Structure 1
């Protein structure tokens, strides 16, 4: 099972487009969505997914998620997605909100902590960080490409 966890800021006014994720990335990669909604206003859809929780702790304790490999994305992580080797299966990718991230520093998260960045000569540190909405397809593409390369390395 491959899952993607989102954190929703109730005050942001920018909802996660669940239909886009379900229809495009869901069909391509067979993942399941997990959403952190502190307001408790969102409801699960057909077949119990997405799984919706009020906190990250609640999600981590859920029986379907507790034994997965947790991979977090944090703007201050030292390791980047580009250098990460994805697990084949049983993984959950956690994407924080644009405003509050996941609410933890990289050191407080138990699992692999990565960041997605690209060169940006106009920024103070020379790198550009991505918004949460753009990270999901980047992760999905990086995962698919690297797993394909790993499986077909004898052909390359």
Structure 2
């Protein structure tokens, strides 16, 4: 019975052990840079998770790539440059401000400004009753006055 329980535990622990990646670093500074990088880089499969959070195969491969770059003595900037050259700025949670990402950075502000102008014009139009009456022709104003007189008198 003990062997059966032990066997079941080993079978169930197998997949969990595969999911955990143990990385050995020769320098604590390299480990810190690695941890920072995989938290700041986006998983291209999950898109809303960092490389550190994702269990996707591509995320595992990218973590290994970042690990190899850091272990080879290259800087964090070189690791980021390698990944952006290969996958584009989408791999970054905070893409740089440049012509290609201009709409990404300014888009929310432009939408907000456009919405504010639209609401301002709508409010101004509703607050101006003279302008609404001017939109009616002379015949329509006469008929409107007749209706008002009929219901009031």
Which structure would you say has the larger Rg?
2
**Which of the pair has the greater relative contact order for Cα pairs under 8 Å at 6+ separation?**
1
Both proteins in one fold, TM over 0.5 = no
Q: TM-score, normalised by structure 1?
A: 0.20
Structure showing the higher helix proportion among its residues: 2
Q: TM-score, normalised by structure 2?
A: 0.20
